[in-house]
A and B are shown apart, each in its own frame.
Chain A
Amino acid sequence: MTELASASAARPATRRRPIPRGVVLAFGWILLMILVGAFADVLRPYSITALDLSARLTPPIGFGGPITHPLGTDELGRDVLSRLIVSIRVSLLIAFGATVLGVFLGGTLGLVAAHFRGLIEQIVLMLIDAQAALPFIILALSVLAFFGNSLALLIALLALYGWERHARVARGLALAASTQGYMLAVRQLGAGPWRLYVHHMLPNISATMIVSATLAFPEIILAESGLSFLGLGVQPPMTSLGNMVGYGRGYISSAPWILLFPSIVIVITTLAISITGDWLRDRLDPTVS
């Protein structure tokens, strides 16, 4: 305990750095989104399929709408707020799940390629090139046409979106890191692959991998909206942020709120993820003060 105290006294600047306000806001937003997603069933005032045909396309509060539908209603008289809340849950699940899965898949394949070199590396590189050359929508179309549609399948499919980039980044970083003195030093100490890769390689390449993941996150949200728009993603009556934007597009001039609120949520969430990822990268690097 005394050691900790003296160590932090010696370097107060790196240990007690206040978290920037932007990061606090971003963190707060992500937390809010997670809470909304977790308690969606309690928070939503109406069922997402509850039709109120007499109150179709009512504007939100402040634009002449009644208090009963704070964010207005859509073309079938469904409550936009309720649909937004459930959409956040579905989209977050898909985007987080697919990002984590994609980074894990790509990162593992990249490290495997860098570790074994030779034939295995060539096979991984070939897979990467094949994935990069194949239009994602065509891949998605064929997979969904053959295997039907489910949330788990959609997450797995979207994980394939961008894995090749993570794999390339991980392989390049691992190749560069393995020639560095510290890797040779630890290998020379007699360390096994687990220690080499998990204790030393991963923390050192995590900064770039985190940035790679935060870039992939908004892309996956957009890819999911694209698929939903084509009718391949989340199937109605279920809803997602992309789904809402897709169907709201037809009413952009008469009832823009249908499309506006999910769009705002997409923009703020992706921005918050980027800010948090950026801060996390600096935070994990002891040389940045």
Chain B
Amino acid sequence: MTLLRLHKVKRTYSTRQGLFGETEQVSAVNGVSLSLERGRTVGLVGESGCGKSTTGRLALGIELPDSGDVTFDGTRLPHPNTKAWKALRRRMQLIFQDPLGALDRRLTIGAQIKEPLAIHKIGSPADHEGQVHRLLAAVGMRPDQAASYPHELSGGQRQRAILARALATSPDILVCDEPVSALDVSIQAQVVNLLLDLQKEFGLAMLFISHDLKLVGCLAHEVAVMYLGLIVEQGEPATLYNEPAHPYTKALLAAVPDSTRRGPRPLLSGEPPNPAARPTGCAFHPRCPIAVPKCSQVEPALLPRADGRLVACHLAHVESAAGEKVS
């Protein structure tokens, strides 16, 4: 059952260069469709600046899309800062990249975990203490750490505390925006395992935003690869990782360190293009090693392939169609 659905959402920011400069339209997200289901994780990967985090904010309703719509449980998300929006915060939570920045350094961990309970008036204040201890136990922390200040904890413990705060209202959706990229690899594994356990326990729908392909492969049920505000390939991690269909996915996977690789790895040439000046046709064609003239003229649609995967590439569909004919 679909809990949250993003339908062709677009978000454009306008920036101005200098005081008298012209305003530029930067489209951060350019028509993304995604759906989240209870107990399942969608991984969103891509290089920095491709619109992953904006997609996350749109999914949470922190920002409204310029066009397209986001529906949660069948209804459209309300305007930010309205009463309905505030009430909805109880059901959708966000995990941040920087665990120290996301905690108020002047309040104890316990006081901050209690906050969502107080905001949404869950239980009586007398129960909150016990609730905090249960939440801390759920994320693998000691009850006496409720009296600690954020700076007294390690990075992993801070991220656990933020998780405990996010889980306090028993949300349905958890959006994790690069939750472990600020942590050591050993701690990353702990936090990721914790996320997986919590998802099983609470049946959370998760949107996991990361640039770490391996990590997303470990925990997502479905992976979406973004490039310049668009999803270029989407499918189950096993098939997507074993035989990537989109040349961009191929290049991303080739960039993942692999000790068994022999010979040079295929590298992408050029910089990611400026989102304010999108290339015509397929946004990836200036960097694509296999681009044909059609790529610079016609924008490829995100279409399903025979194996159920969605790919936005003219050549990938030709390839799969040819492959089917042969077999």
Contact = CB atoms under 8 A, between A and B. Distances in A.
A3 B130 CA distance: 12
A186 B116 CA distance: 8
A190 B60 contact: no
A186 B62 CA distance: 12
Interface stretch (B6-14, B141-149, B205-213, B279-287): B141-149
Given A3-B143, A10-B144, A188 B105 contact: no
A209 to B, nearest CB: 14
B305 interface: no
Contacts of A188: 60, 62, 89, 93-94
Contact of A11 (B60, B87, B89, B152): B152
A186 B119 CA distance: 10
Contacts of B86: 190, 192
A186 to B, nearest CB: 7
Contacts of A285: 106
Given A185-B102, A185-B162, A190-B89, 5 more contacts: A3-B144, A4-B147, A11-B148, A182-B105, A189-B119
B119 A195 contact: yes
A61 to B, nearest CB: 50
Interface string A249-289: 00000000000000000000000000000000000111100
Interface string B102-144: 1111110000000110011000000000000000000000011
Nearest to A286: B149
18 contacts: A7-B147, A181-B100, A181-B101, A182-B102, A184-B102, A185-B103, A189-B93, A189-B119, A190-B85, A190-B87, A190-B89, A190-B90, A190-B120, A192-B86, A203-B104, A203-B107, A204-B105, A286-B149
Nearest to B91: A190
B299 interface: no
B101 to A, nearest CB: 3
Contact of A203 (B103, B106, B147, B149): B106
Contacts of A142: none
B114 to A, nearest CB: 11
Contacts of A3: 143-144, 146-147
B96 interface: yes
A181 B119 contact: no
B98 interface: yes
A190 B144 CA distance: 27
Interface residues on A, range: 20 to 34
Given A3-B144, A190-B119, A192-B86, A182 B103 contact: yes
A117 interface: no
Contacts of B79: none
A11 B151 CA distance: 13
Given A188-B62, A286-B149, A7 B89 contact: no
Contacts of B149: 286-287
B144 A191 contact: no
Contacts of B120: 190
Given A3-B144, A188-B62, A190-B89, A286 B103 contact: no
Interface of A: 3-4, 6-7, 10-11, 180-182, 184-186, 188-192, 195, 199-200, 203-204, 284-287
A204 B104 contact: yes
B144 A7 contact: yes
B92 to A, nearest CB: 9
Given A11-B152, A287-B151, A182 B116 contact: no
Given A3-B147, A185-B96, A192-B86, A200 B104 contact: yes
Contacts of A286: 105-106, 149, 151
Nearest to B90: A190
B116 A189 contact: yes
Top 7 nearest A-B pairs (CB, nearest first) are A181-B101, A190-B89, A7-B147, A190-B86, A181-B102, A182-B104, A185-B102
Contacts of A192: 86, 119
Given A185-B103, A286-B149, A6 B89 contact: no
A189 B102 contact: no
Contact of A182 (B62, B94, B101, B119): B101
Contacts of A6: 144
Interface-centre pick from A4, A190, A191 (highest chain B CB count, 10 A): A190
A266 to B, nearest CB: 34
Contacts of B98: 181
Nearest to B117: A189
Contacts of A191: 115, 119
Nearest to B80: A187
Nearest to B92: A188
Contacts of B93: 188-189
Interface-centre pick from B60, B96, B102 (highest chain A CB count, 10 A): B102
Contacts of B165: 185, 189
Nearest to A195: B119
A99 B221 CA distance: 60
Contacts of A11: 148, 152
A185 B163 CA distance: 12
Nearest to A202: B106
A189 to B, nearest CB: 5
A7 B88 CA distance: 35
Contact of A186 (B87, B101, B104, B144): B104
